Amino acid sequence: MDTDSIAEVGIDGEKRLFIRPTKATFPLIYREAVEVHWDPVGQFLFSPCPREWTYLHWFQHMIDTAGILQLTPATLWTNVPEDMRIAMQHWFSTRSSRSA
Can you give the pTM of this predicted structure?
0.91
Helix (H) or strand (E) holding 53: none
47-97, pLDDT tens digit by residue?
998 889 999 999 999 999 998 999 999 999 999 999 999 999 999 999 866
Q: Assign a CATH topology to domain 4-99.
A: Anthopleurin-A (2.20.20)
Confidence of residue 100 (pLDDT cuts 50, 70, 90): very low
pLDDT in the model for residue 97: 62
What are the structural domain ranges in the chain? 4-99
